Structure 1
Amino acid sequence: MRLKWLPFCLLLLLIIGITVGIDVGGLRSVTGWINSVPFGDKFGHLFIIGLLTFLLNYALAGRMVKVGRLKLLLGCMIVAVAMTIEECSQFWIAARTFDLIDLSANYLGVTLAGILWLKTHRV
């Protein structure tokens, strides 16, 4: 039963490691390569955050929460809030730059993952 959390936890650890590496000014060769690909960074945000969201919805078994009249996937809400906080934290990290387009790519990844989850799992 707990194995359903393993893919999410492994990807989350990878994302945390990459984020910390970039925050301290490391990983310049990796970020340089990604930034040399047109929209590479934006597609990276969309894909990684979308995958993280899908895996969290899987781990939470598609748990839904009511927000007003809406029923939303809890995994989508958690990732959206966490990514908003992480992107906004870049205002205070010297090696990073806040980017509204990165944040938008994150939200798009969350949205597409939620749609994919709902299409593939009857909730």
Structure 2
Amino acid sequence: MLQRALVVLAAAFFIFIGWVIYLANTGQKAVFFDLVAAIPYGDKVGHFCLFGLLTLFINLAFKFKTFVVAGYTIYYAAAIVATFVVLEELSQYFVETRTLDFIDLVADFMGIAFFSGISVWLSKRLYPIKN
């Protein structure tokens, strides 16, 4: 039951982010945009939090599943979200209401890394290794 709720949370948050991207791409206004504009560096904080939390929620939904590349353990969630943010940021080049911004991408990756760190800590508490 809890696992199903975590999957729904991750999916709902992804849909929310998709909606926000749609609003931005179509030049529509939303209260979120006004809130972000009122906070110093709000856009960057928003990128950090949105994609970091998405990483955490997907990690929870996937029970912290990982894979190994060149000796590095990587969360599936981090790889999925990283791929998504790169594609989404690059797509902004082709949308006249958006601006391709490398610093947004840096904020995205900082959020992914930070919340992956939280995931490491959390996974050890939720799924301890038994000897």
Bin the TM-score by the shorter chain: over 0.9
Q: Give the gaps of 5 or more residues in structure 2.
A: none
Query: Number of residues paired by the alignment?
Result: 123
Which one has the largest radius of gyration? 2
Q: Aligned pair in 2 of structure 1 residues 33, 117: CA closer, same or farther (>3 Å)?
A: closer
Equivalent residue for 2:20?
18
Q: Over residues 8-44 of structure 1, what are the superposed CA-to-partner deviations in whole Å (9 max), with x where a residue is unaligned? A: 1111111111100110110266424422321011111
Distance 1:91 1:116, change over 3 A: same
Q: How does 1:49-64 map to 2 (within 5 A)?
A: 49-64=51-66
Equivalent residue number for residue 4 of structure 1? 6
Using the size of structure 2 for normalisation, the TM-score is 0.87
Cα displacement (A) at 1:69: 1.2
The gaps in structure 1 that reach 5 residues or longer are none
In the alignment, residue 84 of structure 1 is paired with which amino acid?
A: V
The alpha-carbon deviation at position 121 of structure 1 amounts to: 1.3
Q: What is the CA–CA distance in structure 2 between the aligned matches of 1:58 and 1:2, rounded to whole Å?
A: 10
- The root-mean-square deviation of aligned C-alpha atoms, in Å, is 1.5
Q: Deviations over 1:53-85 (max 9, x none)?
A: 000000110001111211111111110111011
Structure 1 ranges of 4+ moved more than 6 A: none
